[in-house]
């Protein structure tokens, strides 16, 4: 039976680095906060270095920054249209932040390392999803006023069905931040648990038998490659759904 230290879930433990309590409220600086702060600083530095020269023929850093810029710009153009250009900074920020948080969490580390997957905690993913939800709702009212409430009335539905359909539409709308956050959180947790479990088999079998140890090692490499793909894919999905929600708010699509 695995101890708490060697449990596959131990990697998700929140650790207080700087205990802070104000008025009975615990606002301690944790390993999760450290990772998010570090990633934010890294992204800022990466962007500043990449756009420092603004050369006609881009170097590696500038090329990478331009790649991310063009990718998110295309994402918005495809899912929102010209009206979505004003929301590019928000979508770009949330995409690049989630992407690097996911990738940072895949850096190999030891039990005492400060490497941490912040997106493996529902409170982090829900906070980001809630911001997206509130922004889309505010944008909807900004563009359409109270007419935005008609979004919850499906077109072409007979009047006698509206008492049933409207509550369903309202419920599905308010479930958006939950589904958006759980999707990212669940994928991150599942992948890291799989890596930890199969990684344990590598250590155990590799110590006893060389050949049997190769099999779980190959599985870990394959799962790690899959996790890299999922880390990028989940950032894409989150950004795409953000664009779709903004499109619904702007164009009243149903």
Question: What is this structure's pTM?
Answer: 0.86
Q: What are phi and psi of 29, to 5 degrees?
A: -85, 115
Question: pLDDT tens digits for 89-124?
Answer: 999 999 999 999 999 888 866 555 667 888 988 999
- Please tell me the predicted confidence (pLDDT) of residue 3: 47
Taking the C-alpha atoms of residue 133 and residue 195, their distance in angstroms, rounded to an integer, is 32
- For the segment 208-217, what is each residue's pLDDT rounded down to a tens digit? 555 555 666 6
Q: How far apart are CA 195 and CA 109, in angstroms?
A: 12
Strand partners for 76: none
Q: Is residue 254 very low, low, confident or very high in pLDDT (cuts 50, 70, 90)?
A: low
Please state the separation of Cα 84 from the chain's center in Å: 20
């Amino acid at each position: 039976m695995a101890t708490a230290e060697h449990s596959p879930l131990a990697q998700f433990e929140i650790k207080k680095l700087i205990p802070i309590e104000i008025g009975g409220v615990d606002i301690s600086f944790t390993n999760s906060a450290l990772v998010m702060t570090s990633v934010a600083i890294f992204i800022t530095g990466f962007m500043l270095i990449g756009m420092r020269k603004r050369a006609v023929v881009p170097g590696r850093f500038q090329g990478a920054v331009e790649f991310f810029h063009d990718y998110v710009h295309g994402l918005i153009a495809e899912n929102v249209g010209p009206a979505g250009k004003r929301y590019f900074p928000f979508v770009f920020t949330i995409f690049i932040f989630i992407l690097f948080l996911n990738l940072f969490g895949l850096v190999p580390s030891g039990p005492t390392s400060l490497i941490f997957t912040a997106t493996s905690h529902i409170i982090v993913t829900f906070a980001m999803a809630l911001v997206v939800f509130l922004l889309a709702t505010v944008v909807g009212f900004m563009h359409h006023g109270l007419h935005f409430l008609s979004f919850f009335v499906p077109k072409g539905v007979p009047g006698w069905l509206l008492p049933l359909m409207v509550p369903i539409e309202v419920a599905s709308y308010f479930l958006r931040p939950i589904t958006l956050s759980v999707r990212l959180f669940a994928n991150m947790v599942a992948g890291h648990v799989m890596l930890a479990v199969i990684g344990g088999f590598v250590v155990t079998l590799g110590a006893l038998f060389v050949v049997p140890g190769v099999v779980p090692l190959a599985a870990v490499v394959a799962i790690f490659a899959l996790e890299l793909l999922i880390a990028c894919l989940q950032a894409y999905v989150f950004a795409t759904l953000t664009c779709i929600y903004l499109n619904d708010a702007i164009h009243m699509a149903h």
